[in-house]
Amino acid sequence: MRGIYKQGDSKAADRNIKYCKSCNKCWEITLEDNFRKRDRRIIYYNNFPFYGKIKETCDSCKGDKNGKHGVDKPSM
């Protein structure tokens, strides 16, 4: 029996979830489509294993208040 998880879940977690050395938490960026705009949300995970995760400082430790760092494309 395989369980409830898909085969690529662990690879997707290693690709999407990052580890912040400043606050010692794992985090990921999620994008949610609403009717008129796309909302960007950061999810933090406490006590999450960080082995094999990309080490990158999270937006709150960087002091990024607007939340548009690195993910959103600039409008033309």
Identify the pLDDT of residue 21.
92
Identify the pLDDT of residue 35.
75
Q: Let me know: does 41 contact 29? Beta carbons within 8 Å.
A: yes
Model confidence pTM above 0.85 = no
* pLDDT of 76 higher than 90: no
Mean pLDDT on 16-27:
92
Asked if residue 58 belongs to a domain, the reply is no
Asked if residue 62 belongs to a domain, the reply is no
* pLDDT of 20 higher than 60: yes
Asked if residue 74 belongs to a domain, the reply is no
Q: Let me know: does 52 contact 42? Beta carbons within 8 Å.
A: no
Average pLDDT taken over every residue of the chain: 77
What domain range is 25 assigned to?
9-48
Burial classification of residue 42, based on how many CB atoms lie within 10 Å of its CB (0-12 exposed, 13-18 middle, 19 or more buried): middle
Other Cβ atoms within 10 Å of 28 Cβ, number: 17
Mean pLDDT on 35-57:
86
Identify the pLDDT of residue 70.
45
Total domains, the chain: 1
